[in-house]
């Protein structure tokens, strides 16, 4: 598992925990947006593996 994949997994778990504490929290939205950025970065790297 790459560092990026590990970050995605860990942030997803953090988002689930935040959701379980308070589903309407702004923290859930913040984490979700950060997770979206990481997933987009992951997809970009997977579609063009020669770029760094």
Q: Tens digit of pLDDT for each residue in 24-40? A: 999 999 999 999 999 99
Cβ neighbours of residue 37 under 8 Å, at least 6 residues apart? none
Q: Is the dihedral of CA 44, 45, 50, 52 positive or negative?
A: positive
Structure token pair of residue 16: 């689930």
Q: What is residue 18's three-state secondary structure?
A: helix
Residues in the chain: 52
Question: What is this structure's pTM?
Answer: 0.84
Instruction: Convert the pLDDT of each residue in 12-23 to its tens digit.
Output: 999 999 999 999
Cβ neighbours of residue 18 under 8 Å, at least 6 residues apart? 25, 27, 28, 31
């Amino acid at each position: 598992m790459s560092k990026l994949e590990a970050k995605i997994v860990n942030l997803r778990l953090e988002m689930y925990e935040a959701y379980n504490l308070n589903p309407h929290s702004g923290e859930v939205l913040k984490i979700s947006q950060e997770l979206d950025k990481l997933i987009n970065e992951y997809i970009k790297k997977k579609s063009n593996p020669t770029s760094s």
